[in-house]
Structure 1
């Protein structure tokens, strides 16, 4: 009988995804704070859009990373 084990290559892929999510969780709000602090700047709107996209990407990467880690532990 085969024992169920965690697939380490898929687990490492999930951890890498969560590391990118963690970086995005810090970069997004920092850029958004910079954009909202100076509304007279000509780069206000583009910087606000980029910051919002980075924040949304962070949330997406968190769910994707957790799904990858769970699939490495509990094979489908």
Structure 2
């Protein structure tokens, strides 16, 4: 009978823990940047928000796949 790889499970949970704040920060900053379109920092803030949301999606995918690998491999 196979057992759960605890090191791999913890690594996956760390990925998910990193994705959690980014999943809130990204949309908040995106909304804020669209509220201030006339500001000179609009484009850099917009790019930061899009990168934060993309990183959140990537870390969620990586975290869930790592947790599944720890549980079922």
**Fold match (TM-score > 0.5):** yes
Give unpaired runs (5+ residues) of structure 1: none
TM, length-normalised to structure 1: 0.91
Q: CA RMSD in A?
A: 0.7
More helix by share: 2
Structure 2 spans left out of the alignment, 5+ residues: none
Deviating above 2 A after TM superposition, structure 1's stretches of 4 or more consecutive aligned residues are none
Q: Which has the larger Rg?
A: 1
Map 1:52-67 to 2 at 5 A: 52-67=50-65
Between the two proteins, the alignment pairs up a number of residues equal to 73
1:74 aligns with 2:67: no
5 Å matches for 1:1-76?
3-75=1-73
